[in-house]
Chains A and B, each alone.
Chain A
Amino acid sequence: MNKNLYSKLARNNIKNNRNTYFPYMFSSIIAIAMFNIMLTITNRASKAVFYGDSSMIAILMFGVNVIGLFSLLFIFYTNSFLLKRRTKELGLYSVLGMEKKHIVKVLFYEILYSGLTSIGTGIIVGLVFTKLMFVILLNLLFLDTSISLGISWFSIGVTILVFILIYLVVLVYNTIKIYRLNPIDLITGGKKGEREPKANWFLGLIGMISLGIGYYLALTINNPISALNMFFVAVLFVMIGTYLLFTSGSIIIIKGLRRNKKYYYQKNHFISVSNMIYRMKQNASGLSNIAILSTAVLITISTTISLYVGIEDVMRTRYPRDVNIGLEYGPSNLEDIENIIEEYGEINEIEVSNIENLSYSMIVGTLNKNEILGTGGEISFSDGFAVYLIPLEDYNRNQGLSLELEDGQVLFFSDTTRYNYEDIIVYGERYEIREKLEEIDFLPVAIFNEIVIIVKDIDVIENLVSKINEIETIKDGYSTYYSYRFDIEGKHEDKINFISSLKGKLNESVEGLMGVEDRYTTRQDFISLYGSLFFIGIFLGSLFMIATVLIIYYKQISEGYDDRERFTILQKVGMSKEEVKRTIKSQILMVFFLPLVTAIIHTVVAFPLVSKILAVLNLTNTRLFLSMTAIVVLIFTLGYGIVYKWTARVYYRIVN
């Protein structure tokens, strides 16, 4: 046969199936463009030197990998959908005398044309938007936007290679599919009588349990460190649960409704219920994908936005004051340090204010009722408590109070557990709690749960620490520290100069210096870390969103073709057009808003767990996170609604 015939057929096929082909190519183009943009930026960033670049590049690279992997799954999924829709058409070819290898040839040309077009256009679109994206990223990171970004032939090459590979995988899959089918199957295609799905109680139950475990984990974990560890476990359980409940659970529920004769044999329920069984059978996995993707979009975007917007909060939590000096208690003279600060402040025209200093000791223990016990040398992050011991004098000074304590009395504060006892026993030493404090605002947020015990004086602490060191076998033992911190006022450059010269001087002249931390030189690290996270979050979020839209669109189309016949039959049997429209509308609404509702519920349940994780990343502003989540959910719901409306129109056009 003439070679041109295949390519001509392929071109015609693409044109005739444009309803399904164009969205497929459009989203492939976006995926390719995004991949190319991300790769170019990563490539460029790895050559430039800016603050915090290593963490940023790691995050960007992660983004590149996710986009690549996702593109594979995504192109694969849409391709198999397209192929399924077209079995009848391909069957016609075989009836007309084409052999399987000829059909494969046609499909090869189709993939060649659509693939090349997508890759070519995708790269061009990528080139056009790379500059824009790069400027956005630099702006997010507060970096000089004049850094140039030329065409990266390396990225273009890699993009072409990766996507050619993806299309090859698709081609292999299609070839195998075609060879497996016989012509009769090809012709009858989707027309075969579909079996009613079985209600699988076992899988439904597993789904229920799985979701239950996931939710339980998300809702009960109090400790930020275990939150981080358990997050992925919880996600996995919730994903499995969602999938199984969509596939089996939904059918069990609908069949249950059908068994209730009084409910089932009613005008409004009869058709919906029986159709839903089939709809769920065909769409369950697609819908659970939508639900999971939507959840991913919601959580990714709301967390990364919160981190980025909340960077000042993060800084404040991480560094209660502009400059923080940590010392071992004892060896050095505080006055020396104060003198150094004063001297360097004058040189650099810096005003020092809000000076706080306190001595403290921090031990890690477990809490059993009213007793703080040792951890036996092993620090377990999940149930450990950070116990701060602070002398009353320092507390009074920092809070501007003049409280007094008797021997054996303490003030007590705990940030997580409700503590209902009147006393506290620390390694066998019993103290009477004179007052429970509502708030302590001068400690850095620890990744542990915190208990603060304010004791009469520093001697109590030293005695207790040496006693604990006899019991515990921690390397080097616990000791007592001194924290000196203050804010600075002045010009930005002066501040930077002040800090660097102060650091140098303190390092060489102060004995027992643990470290000097400040907001100004580390701010850029945080910004580049959270800024690039935000960038990736938005990037991946929009990619997931496009995938969601495409899945919804294809679902609507296939629903439309399936419903067309039902629609006419129902009218012939005596249902009015309006009634038919109404029942179909209610089913479609149910089908498409189920994933959205699921995603929102998932997001709500994940909220406590995710905010714990944000706490590890020093964002403790739950209200900020809450409002960001609410805004993201709102916008997403709105977008989802618009997409639904738009695809529903395509659906009605097919049905009528």
Chain B
Amino acid sequence: MELLNVKNLKKIYATRFGGNQVEALSNISFSIEEGEFVAIMGESGSGKTTLLNILASLDKPTSGEVLLRGKSILSMEESQLAAFRREHLGFVFQDFNLLDTFSLKDNILLPLVLSNMDFLEMENRLQPIAEKLGISKLLDKFPYEVSGGEKQRAAVARAIITEPEILLADEPTGALDSKSSGELLNIFTKINKSGQTILMVTHSAIAASHASRVLFIKDGEIFHQIYKGDLSNREMFEKISNTLTLLASGGKRDE
């Protein structure tokens, strides 16, 4: 079933006095099925983050449409957007974005508290997730007391505790060492297997090799996409690397 549908997205940034216009996205269209694990790859400045911000409803496109389960998220009022983000989307950021005034537990519970959930139910939801992510013992610690990998796992827990329809991850491994990255990606694979749809933006080929499908963006357009199918992570990694080399050498669009 189609979960997310992006149609002809275009985003133009104008400088303050309307002088130079920069086209961040020129024409992006793709769709994501329920239960998919999609990675979007591209170099710095290719428009990845702009795309993610639009999907996250943090930014508005110049033209185009974003449908979640057939419903447009762009026509929503500012006041509804916050609740929408909270209930339907989960976020994982490169720099964790944990609040240092909260313990990990409170950081994870934050979106539930914002939705006025009963405390007992919060606890019930927290336990299995914390166990799955291996942070049960760290719950009372504060962000400055744990490692980057642990912080990111807490951030993932915060993102999925609301049982969002789609988990949006922006360079989730960007600030992690390779071991923590590996662990995090395994967690992504695990929660994807249990049914969570994931859309991840990254420029790490290793990270992308865990995804079931990889979209390549170049100069604000979808340049190419590859499916993992039955390939192993390693084979997928090679395939991605080849595509990247092609991209970098200025290869032509093929789809």
Q: Does B223 contact A (CB under 8 A)?
A: no
- Minimum distance in angstroms from A274 CB to a CB of chain B: 5
Q: Mark B80-122, 1 if CB is under 8 A from A, else 0.
A: 0111011101010100011111100010011101111001001
- Judge whether B144 and A569 touch: CB under 8 Å: no
In the complex the two chains form, what is the Cα distance from A265 to B111 in whole Å?
11
Q: Indicate which residue in A196, A262, A275, A574 contacts B86 across the interface (CB closer than 8 Å).
A: A574
- Judge whether A265 and B122 touch: CB under 8 Å: yes
Q: Does A147 contact B (CB under 8 A)?
A: no
Q: Indicate which residue in B87, B106, B144 contacts A193 across the interface (CB closer than 8 Å).
A: B144
Q: Does A539 contact B (CB under 8 A)?
A: no
In the complex the two chains form, what is the Cα distance from A270 to B108 in whole Å?
12
Q: Does A70 contact B (CB under 8 A)?
A: no
- Minimum distance in angstroms from B11 CB to a CB of chain A: 19
- Judge whether A573 and B111 touch: CB under 8 Å: yes
- Judge whether B79 and A576 touch: CB under 8 Å: yes
**Nearest chain-A residue to B102 (Cβ)?**
A274
- Judge whether A262 and B82 touch: CB under 8 Å: no
In the complex the two chains form, what is the Cα distance from A576 to B86 in whole Å?
10
Q: Does A397 contact B (CB under 8 A)?
A: no
- Judge whether A574 and B111 touch: CB under 8 Å: yes
The interface size bin for chain A is 20 to 34
Q: Indicate which residue in A261, A265, A266, A579 contacts B82 across the interface (CB closer than 8 Å).
A: A579
- Judge whether A573 and B91 touch: CB under 8 Å: yes
A265-B114 contact, Cβ under 8 Å, with A194-B144, A573-B86: no
Q: Mark A530-568, 1 if CB is under 8 A from B, else 0.
A: 000000000000000000000000000000000000100
Q: Does B58 contact A (CB under 8 A)?
A: yes
A569-B116 contact, Cβ under 8 Å, with A270-B110, A574-B86, A576-B81: no
For A274, what are the chain B residues with a Cβ–Cβ distance below 8 Å? 99, 101-102, 106
- Judge whether A576 and B97 touch: CB under 8 Å: no
In the complex the two chains form, what is the Cα distance from A609 to B186 in whole Å?
71
- Judge whether B99 and A569 touch: CB under 8 Å: yes
In the complex the two chains form, what is the Cα distance from A574 to B90 in whole Å?
9
Interface centre among B89, B91, B93, B106 (most CB of A within 10 A): B106
- Judge whether A576 and B78 touch: CB under 8 Å: yes
A193-B100 contact, Cβ under 8 Å, with A573-B86, A573-B158, A577-B78: yes
**Nearest chain-A residue to B142 (Cβ)?**
A196
For A195, what are the chain B residues with a Cβ–Cβ distance below 8 Å? 144
In the complex the two chains form, what is the Cα distance from A195 to B145 in whole Å?
9
- Minimum distance in angstroms from B165 CB to a CB of chain A: 14
Q: Does B61 contact A (CB under 8 A)?
A: no
Q: Does B143 contact A (CB under 8 A)?
A: yes
- Judge whether A270 and B113 touch: CB under 8 Å: yes
In the complex the two chains form, what is the Cα distance from A576 to B85 in whole Å?
10
**Nearest chain-A residue to B79 (Cβ)?**
A576
Q: Mark B170-204, 1 if CB is under 8 A from A, else 0.
A: 00000000000000000000000000000000000
In the complex the two chains form, what is the Cα distance from A575 to B99 in whole Å?
13
Q: Mark B150-183, 1 if CB is under 8 A from A, else 0.
A: 0000000010000000000000000000000000
Q: Does A50 contact B (CB under 8 A)?
A: no
Give the interface of B toward A (CB within 8 A). Answer: 56, 58, 78-79, 81-83, 85-87, 89, 91, 93, 97-102, 106, 109-111, 113-116, 119, 122, 142-145, 158
30 pairs from A and B in contact (CB 8 Å cutoff): A193-B100, A194-B100, A265-B109, A265-B122, A266-B116, A267-B116, A270-B110, A274-B99, A274-B101, A274-B106, A278-B101, A569-B97, A569-B98, A570-B99, A571-B58, A572-B58, A572-B91, A572-B93, A572-B97, A573-B86, A573-B97, A573-B114, A574-B87, A574-B89, A574-B114, A575-B86, A576-B78, A576-B79, A576-B83, A579-B114
Known: A267-B114, A270-B114. 20 other contacts (CB 8 A): A193-B100, A194-B144, A265-B109, A265-B113, A270-B106, A270-B113, A274-B101, A275-B101, A278-B101, A566-B99, A569-B98, A569-B99, A570-B99, A571-B58, A574-B85, A574-B87, A574-B89, A574-B114, A576-B78, A576-B79
